[in-house]
Amino acid sequence: MIVCLCRGINDRQLRQEAILAGGDVSRVMQSTGAGTVCGSCCQEVQRVCSGSCAECPSKATEAERPTQIGAAA
């Protein structure tokens, strides 16, 4: 589902960025651009980053967290 119409960012992209950014809203907004144009998606960006989804770091165990593609093992 598209969350940010201005930047064309979908919910999957937001969740992935929230995981990589450790739930830091500012980092997610900076890396995706979501919430930086008209602001209508800011609440959704904050919700995703707050740990309200099962994929967020605050709720996932180390084994459940995705690995970053291209990251050194």
> What is the per-residue pLDDT across 14-73, written as a single tens digit (0 to 9) for each?
999 999 998 899 999 999 999 999 999 999 999 988 864 554 444 445 554 455 555 454
pTM across the whole model: 0.66
pLDDT reported for residue 69? 53
Q: Is residue 60 part of a domain?
A: no
Query: Is the pLDDT reported for residue 3 higher than 80?
Result: yes
Q: Is residue 31 part of a domain?
A: yes
Query: Is the pLDDT reported for residue 10 higher than 90?
Result: yes
Q: How many domains does the chain have?
A: 1
CATH code, domain with 42: 1.10.10.1100
pLDDT reported for residue 50? 86
Q: Is residue 32 part of a domain?
A: yes
Domain that holds residue 33: 2-49
Q: Compute the CA torsion angle 27, 10, 54, 68 (nearest 10 deg).
A: -60
